[in-house]
Structure 1
Amino acid sequence: MRSEERRARIRNLLRARPVTVEEMAALFDVSPSTVRRDLAVLSDTGAVVRTYGGALSAAPGEEPVHEREKLALTQKAAIAKVAEGNIRRGDLLLLDAGTTVGALAARLASWNGITVVTNGLTTLAALADSDGVELIALGGAVRHISLGMIGPIAENALRGITADAVFLGADGVVAGRGVCEGTAEQAALKRLMVEQAREIYVLADSTKLGRADSHWWTVLERPWTLITDEDATPDQLAAFQNRPEISVSIAVP
């Protein structure tokens, strides 16, 4: 089997389920090192996401956390600072998975007297050593590409909680529609987060505005606040500012 054909079959296989290097080596009768080279090529093109011992198929519009952590650092820090200004002592907060929400979590590590409920491993890591924050993990299946927990375990835990505010990340944000994600499970958990929270904040840098690459949506019909960065263009902002249910905050470093 030629390498191009094998890589195509690997890509199709990963669309069905996560597969380990050893499984692929046995299936295609090649060495594990050959599979790793194939995965490196597919990862470089964005077709798959490497994980420990294997790989996952990349969802449309979704980049792995270790790649997103390198992007728009100044903008995410500014967004996190503005978001922090909407939090009060005594609040119970829902924090979504993702790097921008993770930047907010890092700022909350020095707080006292708040409770943070999260499905994000990035947030858990940022707040694990904080004595002043009561930290609650929703649980569930971990998506390695986003380091977020999803599924019925997370959803069942969330149904027993009401929050003062939820801070959402997103693959994309569209005015009049809401936020999109790579999987139905992510979108479903976000919908439940929105239902369980009094105030809704979406933290999205300017590259996410108007972006609809992913297929699964959390529709936002109640009043909510978009916090984005100063690189957003007037046309991008106008789409949100013209909606009566949306408040827009611009974060300046």
Structure 2
Amino acid sequence: MKTKRLQDIENYIISHEIVSLDELCKKFNVSKNTIRRDINTILGTGTIKKVYGGVTVADPVLIPFSKRDTSNQAEKIAISKCAAQFIKEDDIVFIDSGTTTRYIVDFIPATLSATIVTNNLDVINSAASLPNIRIVIVGNVYKRETNSFISLDNQNTFDKFNIDKAFMATTGLSLTHGLTNSDFLEFPIKKEIVAKSNKLFVLVDHSKFDHYTLLTYLNLDRIDVLITDEKLKNEYEIYCKEHEIKVYQTSEENSLDNHTESGYKQSHK
């Protein structure tokens, strides 16, 4: 029981990047003394460090991909499944690096023909088994910590690309800071792709809302479709409605009667 709680606490801190002790006590329904003891144990893994009043990840850029992928995995798979339904015949799509977007290819029909542009190694490996998918790889340096290719040897790489749809991930999402990322070498790829894409899909689970990291790569008003796992807070609902952002949420509370033709509830039209 304690071992599972420790793992859950570590995953929660990794997904949020910085949290207070009070937030952890409330989330895991334990006393402050208990959470302090748990934090002291987790410190030994090297993934987190103490800050005033709380804890943060030791280095957001260096968190092992395997650890980040365990956080909210079921929700991420459901989000990817929803996103895959928007990929149509002959589309040219970009699939971003990240622990949510990596599952999209698992739900693409084997008969569908499309071009996937990506820097995500998991996407590359999965797409390689689909005979009708053309794969274009971007990034010239492999980064083990994120299981992706980063850095561009030529800043004009994307000038010749025409992207129909981009499926983007984010480390944090907020009304004030938009979509954020911590990696200076991934940042140029994200910026170039969102500038070249006709339609932008953002895949984000509930843990990423109201959080931000060092670099903003996209303002929220540029999003066309937001796919998440839970109902949005009121302020996000209002923002999306005002900016005509279509929202799909995949929580199990949706009844079949409320599903759109894509198979998921759409918050507004």
Report if TM-score (shorter chain) is over 0.5. yes
Residue 157 in 1 paired to residue 157 in 2? yes
Q: 1:95: how far off?
A: 0.6
CA contact (8 A) 1:109 1:133 kept: no
Q: Distance in 2 between matches of 1:91 and 1:76?
A: 23
C-alpha deviation, 1:237, in angstroms: 3.9
CA shift digits 1:78-97 (9 cap, x unpaired): 11122122221110001111
Aligned length: 202
Deviations 1:51-102 (A, max 9, x none): xxxxxx7326x74211122221221121112212222111000111112111
Structure 1 SS opposite 2:226: strand
Name the SS of the counterpart of 2:83 in structure 1. helix
User: What is residue 82 of structure 1 aligned with on the other side?
Assistant: 82
List per-residue Cα deviations over 1:189-244 (Å, max 9, x = no partner): 111110111000110100011211x20111234342211002x5534743643541
For residue 116 of structure 1, report the CA deviation from its aligned partner: 0.3
Contact 1:175 1:243 (8 Å CA) reproduced:
no
Q: CA RMSD in A?
A: 2.6
The separation in 1 between residues aligned to 2:149 and 2:215, in whole angstroms, is 17
1:189 and 1:239 map into 2 onto residues whose CA distance is: 30
Aligned to 2:266: none
Query: 1:184 aligns to what?
Result: 184
For the structure 1 residues 144 and 113, does the alpha-carbon distance in structure 2 shift closer, same or farther, using more than 3 Å as the test?
same
- For the 8 Å contact 1:93–1:163, the answer to whether it is kept is yes
Distance 1:125 1:151, change over 3 A: same
Q: Corresponding residue for 1:58?
A: 59
Q: How does 1:173-252 map to 2 (within 5 A)?
A: 173-175=173-175, 177-212=177-212, 214-220=213-219, 221-230=221-230, 232=231, 234-235=233-234, 237-238=236-237, 240-252=239-251
Does the CA-based 8 Å contact 1:139-1:154 persist in structure 2?
no
1:108, CA displacement in angstroms? Answer: 2.2
5+ residue gaps in structure 1? 1-40, 49-56
Alpha-carbon distance change, 63 to 208 in structure 1, aligned in 2, over 3 angstroms:
farther
Return the letter of the residue paired with 1:244.
H
Letter in 2 for 1:216: L
Structure 1 pair 68/203, CA: closer, same or farther in 2 (3 Å)?
Answer: same
In the other structure, the counterpart of 1:44 is 45
Cα distance change on mapping 1:178 and 1:234 into 2, 3 Å: closer
Given the superposition, is the C-alpha separation of residues 201 and 43 from structure 1 closer, same or farther in structure 2, using an over 3 Å criterion?
farther
Taking the aligned partners of 2:108 and 2:87, their CA distance within structure 1 comes to 10
Distance in 2 of aligned mates of 1:127 and 1:187: 24
Aligned-partner Cα distance in 1 for 2:157–2:91: 18
Conserved 8 A contact 2:85-2:108: no
Identity of aligned residues (%): 21
- Aligned position for 1:14: none
In structure 2, the residue matched to 1:8 is: none
Query: Which TM-score applies when normalising by structure 2?
Result: 0.67
